[in-house]
Amino acid sequence: MTIIRRSAIILALASALGLTGIASASAAPWAQTHPHRVEVNHRLAHQDRRIHRAFAEDRINAHQANHLHREDHMVRASERFDARFDRGHLTHADQRSLNRDENGISRQIYRDTH
């Protein structure tokens, strides 16, 4: 193989990999701002603030706060796992399931703080 031909092949492969990286990078912001994911993540952030506020106001102890944070973390991990299989967005069924989980955690936060 000549040096010029080898260089041309390497250049073609490098540009193909570069274009693939650009395409996947442009898809990432869309996936993160998909309406279903935004709603789920907004609720998770709100619940996280509720837990922090309840702990700061001494309405729950550290053990309860850690338990609630762990449950929130499991819902967030589930959201990311579900989105991975649907090109970065959540289906309606995924969103319903995650909302059901979040509703349970929200009720638990209320019960623990009152």
Q: For residues 80 and 67, state if they share a domain.
A: yes
Q: For residues 38 and 89, state if they share a domain.
A: yes
3 falls in which pLDDT band (50, 70, 90)? low
Q: Output the pLDDT for position 102.
A: 93
Q: For residues 66 and 79, state if they share a domain.
A: yes
Q: For residues 67 and 107, state if they share a domain.
A: yes
23 falls in which pLDDT band (50, 70, 90)? very low
Comparing CA positions, the residue from 104, 79, 103 lying closest to residue 93 is 79
Quickly tell me which residue has 């609630």 as its tokens. 68
Q: For residues 5 and 37, state if they share a domain.
A: no
pLDDT greater at residue 86 or residue 20: 86
| Report field, pTM of the whole predicted structure over 0.95 | no
Q: For residues 23 and 45, state if they share a domain.
A: no
Q: For residues 61 and 23, state if they share a domain.
A: no
Count of structural domains within the chain: 2
Q: For residues 23 and 37, state if they share a domain.
A: no
Q: Output the pLDDT for position 62.
A: 93
Comparing CA positions, the residue from 76, 75, 83 lying closest to residue 104 is 75
Domain that holds residue 43: 33-113
pLDDT greater at residue 1 or residue 8: 8
8 falls in which pLDDT band (50, 70, 90)? low
- Summarised one tens digit per residue, pLDDT across range 57-113 is 999 999 999 999 999 999 999 988 988 888 888 888 998 999 999 999 999 999 998
- Concatenate the DSSP letters of all residues of the chain into one string: --HHHHHHHHHHHHHHHHHHHHHHHHHHHHHHT-HHHHHHHHHHHHHHHHHHHHHHTTSS-HHHHHHHHHHHHHHHHHHHHHHHTTTT---HHHHHHHHHHHHHHHHHHHHHH-
